[in-house]
Structure 1
Amino acid sequence: MDTTSTTLKKPGGLAVQLVQAMTEQIRSGRLNAGDKLPTEAAIMKDFGVSRTVVREAISRLQASGWVDTRHGIGTFVLHQSEHPSFRISPEHMGTLREVIALLEFRISVETEAAALAAVRRTPENIAELQSALSAFNSAIEEGRDAVAADHQFHQEIARATQNHHFTDLMNSLGAGVIPRARISSILSSDPERQNYLRRVNQEHESIYNAIAAQDVEAARAAMRTHLANSRERLRKSDPDST
């Protein structure tokens, strides 16, 4: 695997440029299907960008179906045949109004995914959901944004449906679907931010408990409540978005 060092320019579009550079590495064969991407630190060094730029670029690559992140393992290049057939491009999440619209779509899909997961989940699915919850808690305690763990939790619910269409959808959306950055302006302090993340994780725990108990209606209601609350938090961050 050859990841030739390149220094990117134009600060306003570094994430886009990094996506283009890494996509070209995949298309040219320097990164092959099944290859694990370098670490965030290695990409930062190779391309001369910040961690934030790397994470945004990886989210965009996920949304475009080029890579898949496996929690606790790494990010891997997908075979072309693995590219999700359903895609919502990052450009479709460029405004607060569009993110809210996507949340409305997710409410309809993920509410039923949670219900199916409650019926079909396996012990392995439960273990992976527990791992995602633990990763979320660790991120809170370490002062991180918990976006990766948040997305992982929703991905694991999709997998627990045993229906690949739900999994394809969540892979297509990528971690960029987690709207954390959209409300950063109203989280004025670290304690406020941590309290916000704890509320989100409590909602996740309610979903998990219902799925673990195989309570279909409770799982459906808990997911609807969680995503509806996310939508309302976004609306409150910008009253003009309603």
Structure 2
Amino acid sequence: MGTEGGGVAGVMATRRGRRPAGGGVQLTFEVIAETLRDQIHSGRLKPGDALPTQTALMREFGASSLTVQKAMALLKQDGWAVSRPGKGAFVAHRDHADDLDGPETDAPVGGTTARVEALELALAEAVQQIADLRGRVEALESGGVERGR
């Protein structure tokens, strides 16, 4: 009974690639994604190379198709891979100096929700910075006009 409850919590927690606090063991989809990231980072897989097929990954890791799909979704979300409908998944073009910060602007655009959300967040931050700068300029102009002239 206890394992069933933990399993349900584990399944619910893994939907977003997260695990309960204190969980030190990687989930299978995380292992698959990390293995592929390591191969990309080491140069074994290069930008534009085809990633292993779902069937090959299922066989190699003894994983279900859903687990492999979750690993691929994680790689795509993080900007490491892109899908080409009817062709498969491929290593995304990335700037190797920025491996940890997510997708680069020159990464192939896949129209993913994660990419759109990241761009919306960056835009919102830029708008806030512009508003802050406008406030500073106005404050300087109103206080500095008399002293400067």
- State the TM-score, normalizing by the size of structure 1: 0.31
- State the TM-score, normalizing by the size of structure 2: 0.49
